Amino acid sequence: MSTPIRLGTRRSALAQAQSGHVAAALEKVIGRSVELVPITSEGDTNRASLSLIGGQGIFATRLREALLAGGCDFLVHSLKDLPTKQPDGLVIAATPLREDARDVAVTRDGIPLHELIPGSRIGTGSPRRIAQVRIRAPHADVVDIRGNVDSRLQKVATGELDAVILAAAGLSRLGTDSPLRREELGLAEWPTAPGQGSLAVETRTDADPELLSALAALDDESTRLAITVERAVLEGLDAGCQAPMAAHAVVAGSSVRVRTVVYAADGAQRIGLDVTEDLNGEYIRRSGSGNGADAADGADPMHAARELGLNLARRLLDQGAADLVSREHSS
């Protein structure tokens, strides 16, 4: 019997659920068993506010250390938790098909956020979501919270909070069965974090070629194009993973539509862009991306996607985004 492939994962129920989905898919491709290797990240033990400790790999660093040390063969991350700088020796081998990228507001009785009475308590630990709540429900009180999905839902069920903001994809992957009511927050007015709803499958650059090939089979090209644009916006802003900013891209054929917003922490100001570009040639030619005719024929759409994101970040900065975010030089 062949040796199982070891998948390093955080210990949370959500992390293990999404890792389990990837494990099952890989087993079908490679014909070998995959076992989960639970690893405790700093984000699982440090209960301080995310707005204070930042997003500088707090959920990924220890997992990556274990991977580089040979403690596992590959990792599954929530892509939105990853810094944009890729460590030496590691590669994102696959980005599976993205799930629902929206946020949802969870309440006891289904009252929309903007209709909650003044003084209602809305829980979230994300600076981006805090700013968005202050725009959507300016008379509510925002409560900075941490904890797993079940503990957050329990705070609403018991009346400690009137609402919490969560990722739709996380609720879907957990299959949470709850009598609480959900309000889906549309991406046009409530764009989400770069990479939200996406998973990143990471391994060593010197991994077994059989494993690299099998992981590549899990990759979804449209998802990778979209998240490449989104993460390049974050990279260009140089603001860190917990910046009060959003970027969401949708790929349709050779074109990509990007909605990106940078928020003041109190929600009082925002700077945004909504653009559609053709990555199959027109944008490459116009922006000077790629190398000559081959790139102009669409040979390097991932490079063009990254250049588009970086260009959007420059435009945001030109419009004053640097005054709204704390540039951490840590992405």
* Active site residue ranges: 81
| Integer Cα distance of 104 and 117 in angstroms | 19
| Integer Cα distance of 223 and 242 in angstroms | 22
Q: Cα dist. 182→56, 125, 171, 207, 316 in Å?
A: 30, 18, 10, 42, 32
Count other C-beta atoms under 10 Å from residue 282's C-beta.
15
| Integer Cα distance of 282 and 306 in angstroms | 15
Judged by DSSP in three states, 127 sits in: helix
Strands in the chain per DSSP E? 5-10, 34-39, 74-78, 90-94, 103-107, 121-123, 141-143, 163-167, 181-185, 199-204, 245-252, 255-263, 270-278
User: Identity (one letter) of the amino acid at 128?
Assistant: R
DSSP secondary-structure letter at 180?
Answer: S
Q: Which residue has the tokens 């990556």?
A: 64
> How do 245-252 and 103-107 pair as beta strands?
unpaired
User: Identity (one letter) of the amino acid at 91?
Assistant: V
Q: Which long-range contacts (CB under 8 A, 24 or more apart) does 175-182 make?
A: 175/17, 176/149, 176/150, 178/106, 178/153, 180/106, 180/107, 180/108, 180/153, 180/156, 181/106, 181/107, 181/108, 181/109, 181/110, 182/104, 182/105, 182/106
Q: Which residue has the tokens 């995959």?
A: 34
User: Identity (one letter) of the amino acid at 236?
Assistant: G
Joined together, the tokens standing for residue 52 give 């204070």
| Integer Cα distance of 211 and 27 in angstroms | 11
